[in-house]
């Protein structure tokens, strides 16, 4: 009898400035079975971002065509841009028994849970809203208006945290990384199938 791990969809969500992208990056380094889901987006590439590695960059028209062709597992409009998860790419990774890490918001979580099973959802909280605001200011990439918007958006997003399987507070990066990785390992252990030869 052979045990075979079935691929998991692991979703990390958090308000902007909570360290989710850095956590995702480190998780990929320490776990060989994890792959990052690459989103399709209509936003302009930021400095250093590469098409096909960080995102698949598309025009509004190209994106809407993909929506019509039902090519997305989920998609949402965030601020003024569209983001979507390509269905085929994720299916291919799961089939290989790999786990796919998603960095999406609560809207995406809802639609993925509707269309897929084997989903584990983790919400990363800042230690407090004051600390979150401080982190956003320290990044020095946003103006006052954007910071206000992000703080309003953060409060809104946090109100959905109770819909997640796990909630982790990021007050110490190393500890948070360890906690999230432990969750993934435990969920993996519950999720396998066996094939009798």
Numbered residues of the known binding site for ATP: 14-21
Q: What angle do CA 20, 18, 170 make, to 5 degrees?
A: 90
H-helix segments, 96-143: 106-115, 129-139
- Extract the annotated binding site: 14-21
Which whole-number Å values give the CA distances from 87 to 40, 100, 113, 120, in the listed order? 11, 12, 14, 17
Question: Angle at the Cα of 92 (from 110 to 66), degrees rounded to 5?
Answer: 60
- State the Cα–Cα distance between residues 144 and 137, nearest whole angstrom: 9
**43 contacts: CB under 8 Å, gap ≥ 6:** 55, 57, 80, 81, 83
Three-state DSSP class for 37? coil
- Helix or strand or coil: residue 141? coil
Q: Residue 63's closest CA among 44, 79, 41?
A: 41
């Amino acid at each position: 009898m052979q045990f075979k791990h079935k691929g998991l969809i692991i979703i990390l969500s958090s308000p902007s400035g909570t360290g989710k992208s850095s956590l995702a990056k480190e998780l990929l380094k320490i776990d060989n079975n994890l792959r990052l889901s690459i989103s399709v987006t209509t936003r302009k590439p930021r400095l250093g971002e590469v098409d096909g590695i960080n995102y698949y960059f598309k025009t509004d028209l190209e994106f809407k065509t993909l929506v019509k062709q039902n090519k997305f597992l989920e998609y949402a409009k965030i601020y003024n841009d569209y983001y979507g998860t390509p269905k085929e790419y994720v299916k291919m990774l799961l089939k290989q028994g790999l786990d796919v890490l998603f960095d999406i918001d609560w809207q995406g979580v809802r639609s993925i849970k509707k269309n897929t099973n084997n989903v584990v959802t983790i919400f990363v909280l800042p230690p407090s809203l004051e600390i979150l605001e401080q982190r956003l200011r320290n990044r020095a990439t946003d103006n006052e208006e954007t910071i206000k918007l992000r703080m309003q958006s953060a409060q809104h997003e946090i109100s959905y945290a109770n819909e997640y399987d796990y909630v982790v507070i990021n007050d110490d990066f190393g500890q948070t990384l360890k906690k999230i990785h432990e969750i993934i390992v435990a969920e993996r252990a519950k999720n396998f199938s066996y094939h009798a030869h």
